[in-house]
Amino acid sequence: MKIYKRLIQLAGNFTSFLIPYTLVALGMSLFSLLNFSMMIPLLDILFNSDTLFEVPANPITLEEFEFSGAFIKEYMYQEFGILIALHGKLYALMLICGFTISASLLSNIFRYSERRLAESYKRSSIATLRSAIFQRVLSLDIGYLTNSKKSDIISRSTTDVQESENAFGALVTFVKDPIMLVIFFSTLIYLSPKMTMFVFMILPISGISIGLISKKLKSVSHNLQDITANILGVLDETIVGMRVVKGFNADKYVTSSYEKSNQGYVSAFRDFASKRELASPLSEAMGVFFVGVLLYLGGTIVLSDSPSLSASEFLAYLVLFTQVLNPVKAISGNISSIQRGIAATERIFELLDTEPTIKSKENAKELTTFDQKITFENVRFGYEDKDVLKGINFEMKKGQMVALVGPSGGGKSTIADLIPRFYDPRQGNVSVDGHDIRDYTLESLRSHMGIVTQESILFNDTIFNNIAFGTKATLEEVQSAAKIANAHEFIEKADQGYETVIGDRGSKLSGGQRQRLSIARAILKNPEILILDEATSALDTESEKLVQDAIQHLMQGRTVLVIAHRLSTIQEADKILVIKEGEVVEEGTHNELMGMDEGMYKKLQEMQEYTQ
Ligand SMILES: Nc1ncnc2c1ncn2[C@@H]1O[C@H](COP(=O)(O)OP(=O)(O)OP(=O)(O)O)[C@@H](O)[C@H]1O
């Protein structure tokens, strides 16, 4: 229950929900009881009006009121007796029907309000939970969000949230159902303590047997969920990899793995359906059996010499009993969804409790200006147990362009990731103007930087929003950034200009267009420090020229760290660092490095010339 306490705390406003909800649930139960109880005088008027509705010689008055079933019954029968004497039986009958209709109407109005209150509380609580998850994911380190974690986080924020939502809904009804049970059972006890004792004995038996069936069902449905995920997985892989599937004529291969999952689903579903379909007739048969026993028991009481229960009360008892079954069934069903929900909510809280390791420390300063240089001093870093950077030293003066080159996997991107503190070094430090970057707030540090990655990171939104990207830029500002990035022309030609929605990750654009949009976004941010992971993807010459030209514009007047894959683009760099296996193996300008016999840079340069 600790978990639920926390969930309720997170959702907030519990008292302002609980008070009206309890009142509404109370109203619903009372009117529903009144509705069914009206059956007793109704039957009595039809069958026993002459004996039961006699007006006593000394009528009781409301001044003698006691809150007891006996008083209420006696008073009501006396009043009906007076009415029958004055206006006849039909009038009394009409009145009772009127009462029944009004009670039923009111109970349904309360039921509707109860549902609405419960739903809106559940929805708003789950929305708060979702937002909390999203905020937590946003605050987590890039290092934490690896691919394996990605699916875990997605499953926690979808499937687990769904489970938690169901369980939360079930928990809410735990307020309503007990109220209903107390009210109905008190009436049943009042009508016949003997029969109610029997009911108390049989209810757990029927509850347990229904519970067992649903438990069996649950294990099958779990299996079903896995298989559904499997089918979706195959479909997703096939759609994403359609080019490869077609290119390799692998239709048969993917069809067979899809069919395997599909058949698995069919047989698992058959199993599930046969058990599910069994649940209802089984519980129905059990219900009929218990009602049969109850009928016999009640019948013997009614037919005895001095009956403690009249026939009309007995019939009302049976009807009320059927009404008690619903909340009992609901409670037993809810217990299992609450159990599932607790496990799911625990997983959600685990995610919410994951503290980011990279955050601004207390008393961190604001980095207001960047004046001199960025320095790497003996920086060592690795992922998990793997050492990647083995003592990196270099300096990047304000206004300089520094290029990182070298074989794949050498650690170039990792070096770049340390500047905006996507990771922190294990040893050594990265400093800005002589101060360790960990002394600055993350936000102020990153506010001086712009990042253009190999893969253009775009969102399924308008072109305008993709360039403005959370800033309050005006259309003119966005347009002038797009012009500098050679993007304005193609944007103007798009269906809705800057308001065109570009599809998932910019899928409606070409590779070069996507890159130019990313560059426009960086130009608009106007960062002093630019980190550029040069794209390797081959573009056609024209598009490449446009992108290169845009990059040249972007780099002007900034301090740039560029990860270069095409050496032709960095000949003008102030400094080139050749990175191999986590170390700087050569450092210098293009000419200096080309002058080194047997130098790695020279070799790389020659290799690229050869392949071009
Ligand atoms: N998130 C990660 N978790 C574990 N290992 C990683 C991670 N990112 C990179 N690595 C490993 O660290 C090493 C350096 O990777 P990095 O991406 O920095 O190299 P790179 O020089 O930029 O390579 P490329 O030129 O191919 O982009 C590689 O061996 C890579 O496998």
Contact 122, 168 (CB under 8 A): yes
Residue 330 pLDDT greater than 80, yes or no: no
Distance CA 532, CA 433 (A): 21
389's enclosing H/E stretch is strand 386-397
The least confident of 201-215, 325-339, 556-570 is: 201-215
Distance CA 341, CA 7 (A): 11
Alpha carbon nearest to ligand 1 atom 30, residue: 409
What's the 323 CA to ligand 1 centre distance in angstroms? 65
Task: Give domain 374-448+529-539+554-612's CATH architecture.
Answer: 3-Layer(aba) Sandwich (3.40)
The closest alpha carbon to 453, from 515, 391, 371, belongs to 515
> Who wins on pLDDT, 458 or 585?
585
Distance CA 367, CA 448 (A): 8
- Burial (CB count <10 Å: 0-12, 13-18, 19+), residue 88: exposed
* Six token digits for residue 237: 């892989």
For 102-110, which contacts have Cβ atoms below 8 Å and span 24 or more sequence positions? 103/31, 103/32, 103/34, 103/35, 103/38, 104/31, 104/32, 104/35, 106/27, 106/31, 107/27, 107/28, 107/30, 107/31, 107/32, 107/34, 107/35, 110/24, 110/25, 110/27, 110/28, 110/31
The least confident of 102-111, 147-156, 232-241, 308-317 is: 147-156
Q: What is the pLDDT of residue 538?
A: 56
What's the 547 CA to ligand 1 centre distance in angstroms? 25
Ligand 1 atom closest to Cα of residue 415: 18
> Who wins on pLDDT, 210 or 608?
608
Q: What is the DSSP string of 424-453?
A: --SEEEEEETTEEGGGB-HHHHHHTEEEE-
Residue-wise pLDDT for 365-424, tens only, equals 999 999 999 999 999 999 888 889 999 999 999 999 999 999 889 999 999 999 999 899
At residue 392, what is the residue type? I
* Six token digits for residue 76: 């009501």
What's the 417 CA to ligand 1 centre distance in angstroms? 11
| Pocket probe mutation, ligand 1, options 147, 150, 386, max atoms within 8 Å of Cβ | 386
The least confident of 278-287, 407-416, 551-560 is: 278-287
Residue 485 pLDDT greater than 80, yes or no: yes
What's the 412 CA to ligand 1 centre distance in angstroms? 8
Contact 322, 328 (CB under 8 A): no
Confidence of residue 430 (pLDDT cuts 50, 70, 90): very high
The closest alpha carbon to 366, from 469, 448, 451, 425, belongs to 448
Q: Which residues pair with 394 in a beta bridge?
A: 376
Write out the CATH class of domain 455-526: alpha beta
Ligand 1 atom closest to Cα of residue 411: 18
Q: Which residues pair with 194 in a beta bridge?
A: none
DSSP three-state, residue 395? strand
Residue-wise pLDDT for 159-187, tens only, equals 888 888 888 888 877 888 889 889 988 88
Residue 86 pLDDT greater than 80, yes or no: yes
Q: What is the pLDDT of residue 373?
A: 93
Q: Exposed e or buried b for every residue in 170-185, given b needs 16+ CB within 10 A?
A: bbbbeebbebbbebbb
What's the 386 CA to ligand 1 centre distance in angstroms? 10
> Who wins on pLDDT, 373 or 323?
373
3-state secondary structure 279-308: HHHHHHHHHHHHHHHHHHHHHHHHHCCCCC
- φ, ψ of residue 169 to 5 degrees: the values are -60, -40
Please name the residues in contact with 166: beta carbons below 8 A apart, sequence gap of 6 or more.
Answer: 337, 340, 341
Q: Give residues (CB < 6 A) around ligand 1.
A: 146, 383, 386, 388, 408-414
Q: What is the pLDDT of residue 535?
A: 66
What's the 466 CA to ligand 1 centre distance in angstroms? 28
Q: Where are the alpha helices (DSSP H) in 241-250?
A: 242-247
Residue-wise pLDDT for 580-594, tens only, equals 999 999 999 999 988
Confidence of residue 612 (pLDDT cuts 50, 70, 90): low
Q: What is the pLDDT of residue 288?
A: 81
Average pLDDT over residues 260-264: 87
Confidence of residue 537 (pLDDT cuts 50, 70, 90): low
- φ, ψ of residue 390 to 5 degrees: the values are -120, 55
pTM exceeding the 0.80 threshold for the entire prediction? no
Enumerate the domain spans of the chain. 193-308, 374-448+529-539+554-612, 455-526
| Pocket probe mutation, ligand 1, options 150, 380, 383, max atoms within 8 Å of Cβ | 383
| Pocket probe mutation, ligand 1, options 388, 392, 531, 533, max atoms within 8 Å of Cβ | 388
Please say whether the dihedral angle defined by the alpha carbons of residues 485, 488, 489 and 495, taken in this order, is positive or negative: positive
The closest alpha carbon to 396, from 556, 591, 559, 585, belongs to 559
Contact 333, 214 (CB under 8 A): yes
Residue-wise pLDDT for 298-321, tens only, equals 889 888 888 888 888 888 888 888
Average pLDDT over residues 502-521: 82
Could you give the percent of the chain with pLDDT greater than 70?
Answer: 92
Average pLDDT over residues 104-109: 94
Alpha carbon nearest to ligand 1 atom 28, residue: 409
Within this chain, domains 374-448+529-539+554-612 and 455-526 share the same CATH topology: yes
Of the ranges 67-71, 87-91, 225-229, the best mean pLDDT one: 87-91
How many residues are there in the chain?
Answer: 612
Contact 324, 185 (CB under 8 A): yes
| Pocket probe mutation, ligand 1, options 142, 389, 414, max atoms within 8 Å of Cβ | 414
Q: What is the pLDDT of residue 611?
A: 60
Rg (CA), the chain: 38
The least confident of 43-47, 59-63, 145-149, 286-290 is: 145-149
The closest alpha carbon to 128, from 164, 175, 152, belongs to 164
Pairing of strands 427-432, 435-436: antiparallel
